[in-house]
Amino acid sequence: MNFPVLYLRKGAERRLRAGHLWVYSNEVDIQRSPLTQFEAGTQAELRASNDKPLGVVFVNPHALICGRLISRDAAQGMTPNRLTQRMETALVLRERLFDKPFYRWVFGDSDGLSGLVIDRFGDTVVVQISTAGMEQMKESIVRAVQRLVHPKAIILKNDGKMRKVEGLDTYIEQAHGPEVSLLEVEENGVRFEVPLEGGQKTGWFYDHRMNRQRLQAYAPGKRVLDVFSYVGGWGIQAACAGATQVTCVDASSTAIDSVHHNASLNGLENVETIESDAFDALKALAEEKEKYDIVVLDPPALIPRRRDQKAGEQAYARLNQLGLRLLERDGILVSASCSMHLPQEKLVDIIRGSGRKIDRFVQLLEQGHQAPDHPIIPGIPETDYIKSCFVRSLTGFM
């Protein structure tokens, strides 16, 4: 294949040689290869300043990440056949890991498919495309899904924030099969139904699967508070594992309705809800002298951008202090984060500081990461974003 050439500035290839796959616009030699000459979604040969080929990238001249490496072979771009092969390779791993078709099938760069996320919900497959390059492969993606897993329905849920950055329209489209309004999920032996429209991301977060499974070991006989509950992923699994009472907190009325629906779906009568801002709810519960055996904190990313680092870390600190205050003397705090910019060791340090701030003796029992259907690429730190800490909190101990 003949590709136009995108040249890098001197030394800009070091990160790519170390294993990363992204090219930033300030790394491009715009004298030799003006970004304005490329259309969004074009495939181009990437070369170092010394003319050495580095591979093939999807180019988007309008985005900060203006190049995404799709092949380290400068003669091989992304074709429908290569796309299908990579999707099949990703599928083999998930089928090895899980005995039922409920998982993240494709996780973007981690599966060599930058800008593409695919989740399976039984007979329904939800596809999210976030880059201009993958948008041009849309029909090939749908055909590959049909060929590889033969689902009853395929939904293109292309309404994520990244599409605006890439200059793409947002839409939700039924690409194949009968219309679907509820997604069925089975995780760790617990059933859920999630509304497709208005739901977050693809509708479900499989990334905390293993951490929610670990929560089940702590839950029997305990009173549990699930904060930022969304549709009840943590709390309902705790209730199914034997928690005596579960309270789910979320600001979304739709999410709260889903919690009640999913509790009923699993035959639970011990799940209650609070529709409120999480910080306001935690303060109100503290004022009411409420206490729980387990408090789960799983907020959305509080550090969405690097420039939000300080404010985000302060928010995590406030959140963890509030959570610790609501625990019984020998309680368990599950503190989770999906902020890419918050390293695991920093979350641990925030918990340490929060414990000291309110005079709690804390023991770090376990640390959790993202499930293996969200593989991490060592050269791409952005693929490593999920973390959780299971912490025992003791009052009056020392």
pLDDT reported for residue 200: 67
In this predicted model, what pLDDT tens digit does every residue of 137-170 receive, in sequence order? 999 999 999 999 999 999 999 998 889 989 999 9
pLDDT > 90 fraction of the chain, expressed in percent and rounded: 94
Instruction: Answer yes or no: are the C-beta atoms of 128 and 201 closer than 8 Å.
Output: yes
In this predicted model, what pLDDT tens digit does every residue of 286-303 receive, in sequence order? 999 999 999 999 999 999
**Cα–Cα distance, 120 to 155 (Å, whole number):** 10
Q: For 305, list phi and psi in degrees, rounded to 5.
A: -135, 155
In this predicted model, what pLDDT tens digit does every residue of 90-129 receive, in sequence order? 999 999 999 999 999 999 999 999 999 999 999 999 999 9
pLDDT at 198 over 80: no
pLDDT reported for residue 5: 97
Per-chain mean pLDDT for the chain: 95
**Cα–Cα distance, 376 to 91 (Å, whole number):** 16
Lowest mean pLDDT among 121-135, 199-213, 229-243, 346-360: 199-213
- List the structure tokens of 329: 């003397």
pLDDT reported for residue 322: 97
In this predicted model, what pLDDT tens digit does every residue of 13-40 receive, in sequence order? 999 999 999 999 999 999 999 999 999 9
Which residues partner with 156 through β-bridges?
Answer: 127, 173
**Cα–Cα distance, 322 to 49 (Å, whole number):** 53
- Coil vs helix vs strand at 192: strand
199: confidence class by pLDDT, cuts 50, 70, 90: low
pLDDT reported for residue 50: 96
